[in-house]
A and B are shown apart, each in its own frame.
Chain A
Amino acid sequence: MGQRAKETVLAAIDASAYATSVCAYAGWAAKRLSLPVELLHVVQQQDPVTARRDLSGAIGLGVKSDLMEELVRLSETSSRAEIEKGRVILKAGEQLLRDAGVADVTTLHRHGGVVETIVEREENARLLVIGKRGTDHEFSPGELGSIIERVVRASAKPVLVVTRAFVEPQQIVFAYDASPAAKRALERLAHSPLFAGLPVTIVMAESEGAAKRTLLDDAEAEFASDHQVTTLMDAGRAEQVIPQVVASTPNAMLLMGAYGHSPLRRMIIGSTTTAMIRTVKAPVLLVR
């Protein structure tokens, strides 16, 4: 099939309010990158085993086949409803993108685990767009959806985690810590048409020093050819400094390298990346 080889912007949506803004950001990115959008919805299924209430504990003639049949019937009904819902969501999303001027939109409706499906489909994606929270966590502000977190960790592609409302990005804030992930972000995106023409603020949450300054200057040089660049060095904790800078920059999009630390360290002290996505009230583009 032809579309396998083609690069896409992969936008993952569910029934939450984020679907609209995911489509809007995907449309924005697709137009800038001149790529088609692939709109993905994964059918979420309620577990039929837990849906039953039968504690009788009696097993009689043909219990295995009867139980199997009953579980299949339960899943079947709920799946059908979910599939219908998914179709509506995908259709609405496709319409939104077409209205926004993206001509090449394909929709993809899959069964399976959300994270697994996204990882499977992102092979051809140059960018993955996803909402900050899904249906499970839709109304817990300040939290990060657990699925989103797993996607960000599992994905090998740049992931754009978007806010509930679409604001066209006018400026880029680049959180730079000279980590390998941040360097990759720099390499990959400094000349990307995604940010073409947008002014960039490079922020380093470090205390002033010659070595750090050189790193910052290098980053600045990388962007300088295509962008108007400001640099900033602030000796605070990244989790505080960067959200502040983002907040004071109107219509900003945050760009950062993701998950530089070891799994052990992340488990003990938590992750800067996760904290950042949670606190920043702007779309965040993560590069691994």
Chain B
Amino acid sequence: MTKIETIKREWLSNPRGDILAGIVVALALIPEAIGFSIIAGVDPRVGLYASFSIAVIVSLVGGRPGMISAATAAIAVLILPLVRDHGVEYLFAATILMGVIQVLAGFLRLNLLMQYVSRSVITGFVNALAILIFMAQLPELTGVPMLTYALVAGGLAIIYLFPYLTRAVPSPLVTIIVLTALVYYTGFDVRSVGDMGELPTSLPMWLIPDVPFTVETFQIILPFSVTMAAVGLLESMMTAQIVDDLTDTPSDKQREMKGQGIANFFTGFLGGMGGCAMIGQSVINVKSGGLTRLSTFVSGTFLLFLLLVLGELVAIIPMAALVAVMIMVSIGTFSWKSIKDLRFNPWQSSVVMVATVVITVWTHDLAQGVLAGVVLSGLFFASKVKRLFTVESELSADGATRTYRIGGQVFFASSDSFVEAFDFKEVLDRVVIDVSNAQFWDISAVGTLDKAILKFRREGTAVELVGLNETSAALIERYATHDKPGADAQLGAH
């Protein structure tokens, strides 16, 4: 059976690497899930349940084996106002709705929209995400004893220097263990995970969110759900692309969208917050040798196992250790190359990238940042293509006929240049407009052509249009009016 073979390949082709990578990822997921819960203003339990449930469900139904999905910063920064104003039950409801929207988006093949997200926007997204993750650590770093800074710095030193000693053990784990032991035995008075809220003590339970089932509730959660769904899908699609590139294997983006939706839908019922794919964790996974669905599955289950078995110990982990891990994630997520590239890239690309970052960091909403980036890159593109437009003209020997040769792209942005190309005041018997090298793209272009032809006719000049290529011809046939009865009357109405 091909089906069974696919399952074998996607789950069991690399068990050793996958299980080890899954464990490494799980160890890094715990601090992140706790960290993101704190960003969102909920108990660590909410983020941890979410990470477990999203990782496990996506491993089963997602479309990109080897990608890690869990509770993420991108979603966490969005939901703070919802939790603050309405409470955590609304968050669960919003997460369920988010899942429904994502599944719908999957059926509508909205992943194809990713084609319009340029590289600069993606870089901006990634950098903004890194900045958001870092900024989320600031509350833990302001107004705290000096000791905390020392601990964080020590933690970062271990994370980056320990791999020179051995690469067989995850260095973030070493950081957590060393700092926890240090704080525990010296009795330093610093904040620990246990101070941040409730940790899981049991398996998650199936719960219907405790919200009134009214239109009002729906109106409260819908805007959040839409944004969460959009941001989640954006990050998931980008991460999938990164994993595709790293592993040189293809993925099913549509299935991934639906998978993300299904995962969030069930996660809402399990008392978790919404999540999506994680760039940093997915890179850690691939770097650690994870490749198939098994590693994602292991990361989720091992995460929950650790919490249930080591719950007591997790509570005494100092926040400084988590902050160190989160700073690492932030550094690893940031695209440092993009800073260097600022000098070499065309200025438009840099503007798009920086605009995406600034708007995201400002609004705490990656969707808005990406939207701004996409609109900007569209504008820049239109202004570039607009220049691909040429006009030449030639007067016949008898001075009665002028031939205009139009070349290039005629669309909304270049339609002004198109009109300006004609000299309507010239007294002529006949005008030939040769558009064999021109492409008419939209109704603005067709409208402008109409206008020009009708204007010539009003001056008593006969107009001949030659050389329409096929697409342009089809467009003109459908939308142009100059060749239809009553055309002259309509001109005035424009």
Interface of A toward B, CB cutoff 8 Å: 47, 49-50, 52-65, 67-68, 71, 75, 146, 150, 153-154, 263, 266-267
Cα distance A55–B290 in the bound complex, in angstroms: 10
Contact call B1/A55, Cβ cutoff below 8 A: no
Q: How far is the CB of B170 from chain A (nearest CB, A)?
A: 3
Contact call B17/A50, Cβ cutoff below 8 A: yes
Contact call A49/B28, Cβ cutoff below 8 A: no
B14 CB contacts on chain A under 8 angstroms: 47, 49-50
Q: How far is the CB of B158 from chain A (nearest CB, A)?
A: 9
Q: How far is the CB of A42 from chain B (nearest CB, A)?
A: 15
Partner pick for A57 among B170, B331, B337, CB 8 A cutoff: B170
A150 CB contacts on chain B under 8 angstroms: 2, 5
A63 CB contacts on chain B under 8 angstroms: 283, 287, 332
With contacts A56-B167, A57-B28 known, is A49 near B283, CB below 8 A?
no
Contact call B328/A58, Cβ cutoff below 8 A: yes
Cα distance A154–B5 in the bound complex, in angstroms: 13
B35 CB contacts on chain A under 8 angstroms: none
Nearest-CB residue, chain B, relative to A67 = B287
A56 CB contacts on chain B under 8 angstroms: 162-163, 166-167, 169-171, 288
Q: How far is the CB of A155 from chain B (nearest CB, A)?
A: 13
B329 CB contacts on chain A under 8 angstroms: 59
Could you list some 23 contacts between A and B, CB below 8 A?
A: A47-B14, A47-B291, A49-B66, A49-B290, A50-B14, A50-B17, A52-B287, A54-B289, A55-B24, A55-B168, A56-B163, A56-B166, A57-B25, A57-B27, A58-B159, A58-B332, A59-B280, A61-B331, A62-B335, A67-B286, A71-B247, A263-B1, A263-B3
A67 CB contacts on chain B under 8 angstroms: 246, 283, 286-287
Cα distance A68–B284 in the bound complex, in angstroms: 12
Contact call B173/A71, Cβ cutoff below 8 A: no
Nearest-CB residue, chain A, relative to B23 = A55
With contacts A57-B170, A61-B336 known, is A52 near B242, CB below 8 A?
no
Cα distance A47–B280 in the bound complex, in angstroms: 21
A154 CB contacts on chain B under 8 angstroms: 2
A50 CB contacts on chain B under 8 angstroms: 14, 17, 289, 291
Contact call B245/A68, Cβ cutoff below 8 A: yes
Interface residues of B in 25-44 (CB under 8 A from A): 25, 27-28
Cα distance A64–B329 in the bound complex, in angstroms: 12
With contacts A57-B172, A59-B329, A61-B331 known, is A267 near B283, CB below 8 A?
no
Contact call A49/B246, Cβ cutoff below 8 A: yes
- Residue B20 interfacial (CB < 8 Å): yes
- Residue B206 interfacial (CB < 8 Å): no
Partner pick for A55 among B2, B170, B247, CB 8 A cutoff: B170
Cα distance A55–B287 in the bound complex, in angstroms: 8
Nearest-CB residue, chain B, relative to A154 = B2
Q: How far is the CB of A51 from chain B (nearest CB, A)?
A: 8
Interface of B toward A, CB cutoff 8 Å: 1-5, 14, 17, 20-21, 24-25, 27-28, 66, 159-160, 162-163, 166-173, 242, 245-248, 280, 283-284, 286-291, 328-329, 331-333, 335-337
Contact call B1/A267, Cβ cutoff below 8 A: yes
**Complex A-B, nearest 9 residue pairs according to Cβ-Cβ distance, in ascending order:** A59-B332, A57-B170, A56-B163, A57-B24, A56-B167, A58-B171, A63-B332, A50-B17, A54-B167
Cα distance A52–B21 in the bound complex, in angstroms: 11
Most interface-central of A50, A146, A153 (chain B CB within 10 A): A50
Most interface-central of B167, B290, B333 (chain A CB within 10 A): B167
Nearest-CB residue, chain B, relative to A59 = B332
Cα distance A267–B66 in the bound complex, in angstroms: 27
Cα distance A60–B329 in the bound complex, in angstroms: 8
Partner pick for B284 among A47, A53, A59, CB 8 A cutoff: A59
A263 CB contacts on chain B under 8 angstroms: 1, 3
Contact call A54/B288, Cβ cutoff below 8 A: yes
Q: How far is the CB of B447 from chain A (nearest CB, A)?
A: 46
With contacts A52-B289, A64-B335, A65-B337 known, is A58 near B160, CB below 8 A?
yes
Cα distance A126–B287 in the bound complex, in angstroms: 45
Nearest-CB residue, chain A, relative to B175 = A58
Cα distance A68–B337 in the bound complex, in angstroms: 13
With contacts A63-B283, A67-B283 known, is A57 near B173, CB below 8 A?
yes
Cα distance A134–B247 in the bound complex, in angstroms: 25
Cα distance A146–B163 in the bound complex, in angstroms: 39
Most interface-central of A57, A68, A71, A267 (chain B CB within 10 A): A57
Q: How far is the CB of B126 from chain A (nearest CB, A)?
A: 9
Contact call B4/A57, Cβ cutoff below 8 A: no
Cα distance A154–B1 in the bound complex, in angstroms: 11
Nearest-CB residue, chain B, relative to A153 = B2
B21 CB contacts on chain A under 8 angstroms: 55
Cα distance A266–B5 in the bound complex, in angstroms: 14
Nearest-CB residue, chain A, relative to B247 = A49
Contact call A62/B337, Cβ cutoff below 8 A: yes
Contact call A53/B167, Cβ cutoff below 8 A: yes
Q: How far is the CB of B47 from chain A (nearest CB, A)?
A: 19
Partner pick for A75 among B5, B24, B242, B248, CB 8 A cutoff: B248
